[in-house]
Amino acid sequence: MKFRSDLIKNILNNQESCIENVIRPISHFERVVIAQGYGASSQVPRRFLAYAVPVLRLASQMSEMTTVEFYFATRGVQRANGIYYDESLSKMRKELSWLVNIYYPRLNNRVRILEDAPLSSSSQKVIDALFHPAKKVMEKCAQIHQFAANRGGDSALRYMLEHLLYMRDPIMVDGQPNKELLVPEMTTDYKHLIMVGGPAEKIFWHFRQEMLKECGSHSLWKSYQFFTSVGDPPTYHPHEGEPLMDGIYFNHNLFKWLEKLPSEFGKQKNLIRDYSVLLQEFAKVQVFKLPHEVSPDILHVGEEILHRYSYLYKK
């Protein structure tokens, strides 16, 4: 299949040439994993599925050797705030399964929905081994230092280190390739790993890159990072006032309703962008438009489907 960069335009932020330079050299016979991580909170926003759209659209253009791994860091969230969101996890799993089954049946057998595990003693040893290099990175990089300092110092730094294990970065630990996983069911049989993250991932990506420079990286696989503008705030964390998955559904004119939400640091505009992506996905567009470019008819079709799905989901 010939890769078409226009089909991921406006849902992936990397320059189209950058994405093409990653995708085109990959052989149809090489194993590829496209992965995306999720957190959790007590309630799930209705726009939750928007975050998965760039991953599934990208995977649908790639060979049968490409698999998708959505993973939930619910145990990581529990380590951070002491709460395990079991009910929200169940809802989000159900949502993702529905989207794949209905809209991406060709990918159905190639999408895995995984969850992390409590931190094992071996994973803790890896994080301990990486902590000293992480301190060096933090001291050298003002942005990383400020990010960690504002969030608890050493505890925040350990949280940032966990990202290297969640994202399977090809880092060396004590001179050996790291083999520890925080999501036990993740595959390790691949040649290319593509991570897709939202705006909040950028500081972690910067930290991860600096750690690879500090500790060295192996060549057992190639790792890439793609970014999407979807998910600010994250689609698994509700913004105050937005519709929830199992809440009372709004009466049509979704965007007029969203425009009435309090605008906090541009979040209102971001919510409109996320819902625009979600409704265009439900309307089965081929090429995504920006919110101010998309036809109202397309949004109406998408909203009708969202309305019906929300009704069925509640039943």
Task: Say which CATH architecture domain 5-239 belongs to.
Answer: 3-Layer(aba) Sandwich (3.40)
90, 113 contact by CB (below 8 A): no
Task: Please state the rounded mean pLDDT for residues 130-147.
Answer: 95
| pLDDT level of residue 239 (50, 70, 90 thresholds) | confident
- In this predicted structure, the answer to whether residue 86 has a pLDDT above a threshold of 80 is yes
| pLDDT level of residue 253 (50, 70, 90 thresholds) | low
Beta strand 32-38 with 192-197 is: parallel
278, 302 contact by CB (below 8 A): yes
Helix ranges restricted to H, the chain = 16-23, 53-59, 74-81, 86-103, 121-140, 142-149, 154-166, 202-215, 254-258, 267-282, 296-314
45, 230 contact by CB (below 8 A): no
As a residue count, the chain comes to 315
- In this predicted structure, the answer to whether residue 266 has a pLDDT above a threshold of 60 is yes
For the chain, give every domain's residue range. 5-239
The residue ranking higher by pLDDT, 262 or 150, is 150
Cis, bond preceding 243 (omega within 30 deg of 0)? no
- In this predicted structure, the answer to whether residue 252 has a pLDDT above a threshold of 70 is no
pLDDT at 248: 57
Tokens 């939930």, residue?
A: 72
- In this predicted structure, the answer to whether residue 251 has a pLDDT above a threshold of 80 is no
| pLDDT level of residue 265 (50, 70, 90 thresholds) | low
Q: What is the rounded CA–CA span in Å between residue 37 and residue 52? A: 10
pLDDT in tens, 90-103: 999 999 999 999 99
Select from 102, 4, 10 the least CA-distant residue to 49.
102
- In this predicted structure, the answer to whether residue 107 has a pLDDT above a threshold of 60 is yes
Please indicate, yes or no, whether the overall pTM of this predicted structure exceeds 0.85. Answer: yes
pLDDT at 191: 96
Tokens 């309307």, residue?
A: 283
Task: Please state the rounded mean pLDDT for residues 256-282.
Answer: 80
The proportion of the chain whose per-residue pLDDT surpasses 90, expressed as a percent, equals: 73
Chain mean pLDDT for the chain: 90
Two structure tokens written together for 173: 């630990």
pLDDT at 310: 72
- In this predicted structure, the answer to whether residue 250 has a pLDDT above a threshold of 90 is no
Q: What is the rounded CA–CA span in Å between residue 3 and residue 18? A: 13
- In this predicted structure, the answer to whether residue 267 has a pLDDT above a threshold of 90 is no
pLDDT at 314: 54
Select from 40, 79, 29 the least CA-distant residue to 192.
29
Neighbours of 209 (CB within 10 A): 14
The amino acid at residue 240 is E
Least confident of 19-28, 56-65, 90-99, 302-311: 302-311
Q: What is the rounded CA–CA span in Å between residue 38 and residue 76? A: 10
pLDDT in tens, 189-227: 999 999 999 998 999 999 999 999 999 999 999 999 999
- In this predicted structure, the answer to whether residue 179 has a pLDDT above a threshold of 80 is yes
pLDDT at 123: 96
pLDDT at 277: 96
